[in-house]
Each structure stands twice: as C-alpha cells, then as structure tokens.
Structure 1
C-alpha cells in the first residue's frame, strides 16, 4: 500500500468516526529537517565540537584528498 492510499484510508476512517483528519503526507517534512539540524548543532556544542561549518570543512578535506593537493610533508630521501 502506498503512502497516498494509506492517507486516503485514514481520512475515510476519520470521517466515519467523526475525528480530525490526519495531516497530509509530507506536510511536516521541513520541520523534521530543521529539528534534525538543530539537534546536530546541539550535540556538537555538548561534545565541544564546532557547531557551524562542519560539513563544508569535511567536504573540503575530502576534495583536497581526491585532488592530491594540500600541504604534504616531503618524504625523506633514502
């Protein structure tokens, strides 16, 4: 059963019982995304990590590693 079919079934049941209809699927998706982001920031502060710019810094480290750039220490000569 798809999400839409389940929503229609729940709406029908609510109408038959005289209850409030459930929220439409996806109605609160952005609120959930914001709450997850806020929790990540809170967790970073609690564990004494930077709360902002962590994703950008991680992507920068990843891209520097893939390109082979960045500061490297020279290998000693044999």
Structure 2
C-alpha cells in the first residue's frame, strides 16, 4: 500500500469517526530531516566524536586564526 492510499484510507476513517483528518504525506518532511540532523549531531557530541564538515572548519578558524598580513 502506498503512502497516498494509506492517507486516503486514514482520511476516510477519520471522517467516518468524526475526527480530524491526518496531515497529507510529505507535510513534515523538512522538519523530520532537520530533527534527524540535530539528533545525529547531539549523538556525536555525547559520544565525543570530532567535528566534521562545516562545523570543523568554523572551529578551526576560531581556534587557529591565520595571521593577517594587512594588519
């Protein structure tokens, strides 16, 4: 059963029971992806894993600033 078919079935069931219909499929995809990313970052911090990607570059710039030749 596809997600669209399941949504239609749930909508019909909610209407039959007088309840509010469920949100359509894909409504909360971005929120879910964001929460998953935040959870993975949290787990990395708890496990004391080193930072990667953009976070590592930012931390590197803060911890090891290059000497400014024009200063």
Q: TM-score range by the shorter chain?
A: 0.5 to 0.7
Is the radius of gyration larger for structure 1 or structure 2? 1
The answer on 1:3 being equivalent to 2:3 is yes
Structure 1, gaps ≥5 residues long: 55-78
TM-score normalised per structure 2: 0.65
Shift of 1:50: 2.9
- Which fold has the larger relative contact order, with Cα–Cα distance below 8 Å and residues 6 or more apart in sequence? 2
Structure 2, gaps ≥5 residues long: 55-71
TM-score normalised per structure 1: 0.60
Alignment of 1:1-78 (within 5 A): 1-53=1-53
Aligned positions, number: 56
